[in-house]
Amino acid sequence: MKRLFVQWKGREIDVGVPGDLFDFDNENCHIGVFGNAIYFATRDAKIYKVTFSSTIGMTVSYRHLLSDEMLHPGGLCERDINGEKYLYRMCDNSETNVIVIDLPDQDLFKITFAGIYRSAYVNDS
**What pLDDT does 64 receive?**
93
Q: Domain map of the chain by residue range? A: 5-64, 69-123
Give the span between the Cα atoms of 56 and 39, in whole angstroms: 18
Q: Where are the alpha helices (DSSP H) in 19-113?
A: 105-108
**What pLDDT does 87 receive?**
83
Give the span between the Cα atoms of 118 and 121, in whole angstroms: 8
**What pLDDT does 89 receive?**
84
List the pLDDT tens digit at each of the 125 positions of the chain.
566 677 777 888 776 665 556 655 555 667 888 888 888 888 788 888 888 777 777 788 899 999 889 887 778 888 888 888 888 888 888 887 788 877 666 565 555 555 566 566 666 65
